[in-house]
Amino acid sequence: MNDIAAGHGRHVIVGLSGGVDSAVSAWRLKAAGWRVSALFMVNWTEDEAGYCTAADDFQSARAVCEELDIPLHRVDFSAIYRRQVFDHFLAAYAAGKTPNPDLACNREVKFGPFIDHARRLGADCVATGHYARLAHDTHGAHLLRATDENKDQTYFLATVDVERFENVLFPIGDLTKPEVRELARKAGLPNHTRHDSTGICFIGERHLRPFLSRYLTARPGPILTVDGRKVGEHAGLWAYTLGQRRGLNVGGQPAAKEAPWYVVDKDPARNALIVSQHHDDPRLLSNTLGIASFHWLHRPAAFPVTLTGRVRHRQPLQAVEVHLTGKSGVHAVFATPQRAVVPGQYLVLYAGEECLGGGEITSVGAQDSVS
C-alpha cells in the first residue's frame, strides 16, 4: 500500500524515530490528507556508556511533531526487544555465528507489537520510514525494492510475515535519499540536517568486541596460520568473523610477507582462529548455502528456479539457483563464489524487483563442492 494519496482523513500512525526519513514520511502523509499521529518506540534502555541515542532521538521526534502539529505517543518495547532480539543475538555469537539483529527487530518488534499497539491507538494504517515499496493484488502484499537502490531496505524486511504488510505505508520508498533531505529542508523540518543513525541502538558507534565482552565469557586461544604455525592469541572465537582483517594484531611476522591477515576459519575443537594473507583464500569462498527454514513472502511456482539474491545489505544482487530441501529448507547454488559467508547471516531472494523472502544461513559449502 504505497498510495499515500488515498488518505482522505483516515488515521495513520507513523513510527517516528527522530531521523529525517520517518519525519519526511509523516510530512508527506499529512500533506496528502491523512490524519497523522506519531509513535516513538523505546527498544533499549541500558545507556550507562552514553552510546544509545534514544533520549536525543525522542527530543528530535518531539520537535518534528511540534513542527507538523501532530500528536506523539511513546511506547517502551525494551523488554520484548531484550527477549526476542538481543538474547538471540548473544546466543548466536556464543555459538560462533554472525547474526543480524535488524531482521529480527523488524519481525519481532516493528512489524509485530508496534503495529498491534498502533491499532489499539485507533490507526487505520501504519507507516515507517523504510526505503521499500509495496504493491497489492489478489495474492496479498508484495514487497518491492526501493527506487534508491543504495538505500533499499527490503533485505531487513524479508522475514516479516507478509500479512503484516497489509495496511502499511512506506511513504519514501519512491524517493532517493537526497530527495528526502531536500523535502525535509523545504518543509522546514528541524532535523533535516541530522546525521543518519549507524549500527543498532545497543551498540551504536562503539566497537562490537568490547561490548560483547560484557555479556560473553572470554576464552582466549591461539591464532594459527593455515599450515598450523602460531602467530598470536585471540580473545575468544565469538569475537571474530570470517573475512575479518582488523583487530587481529598479528602483523610483523618474521616469516611472512608484508600483507594483511584475514580470518579464514575457526576450529572450535582446538579453540583456534585460522588466518591467511590471501584475500581470496579458498576457505573464504563458497558456492552453496543451506537454509534450514526459509521464510517465503511469495514462493515461486516451481523449483529449481533461478533468482537473484544477496547475503548482505547493499551487496549487488547475485544470480542463484534455488532448490527446496525438506519441509521448509532451501539449498542455494550461486553462479559466482561468495566471499566470507557464515552461518547466522541471511540469504534474501528476489525475482526482478520483488523480494520473495529470506532465511538464516545454517550451512556453507566450499567453492570446490559444486560440480
Pair 77, 165 in one domain: yes
Tell whether 194 is covered by a domain.
no
Q: Report the alpha-carbon distance of residue 175 to residue 156 in Å, rounded.
A: 18
Residues 171 and 319 in one domain: no
Give yes or no for a contact between 305 and 321, defined as CB atoms under 8 angstroms apart: yes
The percent of residues in the chain predicted with pLDDT above 70, rounded, is 92
In the structure, what pLDDT confidence band is assigned to residue 5 with cuts at 50, 70 and 90?
A: confident
User: Where a domain ends, among 166, 187, 208?
Assistant: 187
pTM for the predicted model, two decimal places: 0.92
For residue 208, tell me if it sits in a domain: no
- Find residue 281's DSSP bridge partners: none
Q: 242-261: per-residue pLDDT in tens?
A: 999 988 988 767 666 778 89
Query: Could you read off the pLDDT of 321-337 as tens digits, one per residue?
Result: 999 999 999 999 999 99
Assess whether 289 and 272 both reside in one domain. Answer: no
pLDDT over threshold 70, residue 203: no
Domain co-membership, 273 together with 291? no
Three-state SS sequence of the chain: CCCHHHCCCCEEEEECCCCHHHHHHHHHHHHCCCEEEEEEEECCCCCCCCCCCHHHHHHHHHHHHHHHCCCEEEEECHHHHHHHHHHHHHHHHHCCCCCCHHHHHHHHHHCCHHHHHHHHCCCCEEECCCCCEEEEECCEEEEECCCCCCCCCHHHHCCCCHHHHCCEECCCCCCCHHHHHHHHHHHCCCCCCCCCCCCCCCCCCCCHHHHHCCCCCCCCEEEEECCCCEEEEECCHHHCCCCCCCCCCCCCCCCCCCCCCEEEEEECCCCEEEEECCCCCHHHEEEEEEECCCEECCCCCCCCEEEEEECCCCCCCEEEEEEEECCCEEEEEEEEEEECCCECEEEEEEECCEEEEEEECCEEEEHHHCC
Its domain, for residue 250, covers: 219-279
pLDDT of residue 197: 67
- pLDDT of 48 > 90? The answer is no
As a whole-number percent, the residues of the chain with pLDDT over 90 amount to 78
Residues 290, 274 share a domain: no
pLDDT of 64 higher than 90: yes
Mean pLDDT is lowest, of 85-89, 178-182, 247-251, for 247-251
- Range from 42-56, 152-166, 221-235 carrying the lowest mean pLDDT: 42-56
CATH number, domain containing residue 115 = 3.40.50.620
Report whether pLDDT(53) > 80: no
pLDDT at 55: 82
Does 176 lie in the same domain as 33?
yes
In a domain, 165, yes or no: yes
Q: Which among 250, 279, 308 is the end of a domain?
A: 279
Residue 6 has pLDDT above 80, yes or no: no
Asked if the model's pLDDT at residue 370 lies above 50, the reply is no
List, by residue number, the catalytic residues: 105, 201
278-299 pLDDT, tens per residue? 998 999 999 999 999 999 999 9
Query: Residue 47: inside a domain, yes or no?
Result: yes
Is residue 265 located within the same domain as residue 290?
Answer: no
Number of domains in the chain: 3
* 177 lies in the same domain as 64: yes
Mean pLDDT of 94-116: 93
Asked if the structure places residue 166 within a domain, the reply is yes
Q: Kindly state whether residue 179 falls inside one of the protein's structural domains.
A: yes
Pairwise CA distance, residues 130 & 114, whole Å = 15
Query: Do residues 264 and 324 share a domain?
Result: no
Q: 320 and 271 in one domain?
A: no
Domain limit, last residue, from 230, 258, 279? 279
Q: What confidence tens digit (pLDDT) does each residue in 340-368 have? A: 999 999 999 999 999 999 999 999 997 54
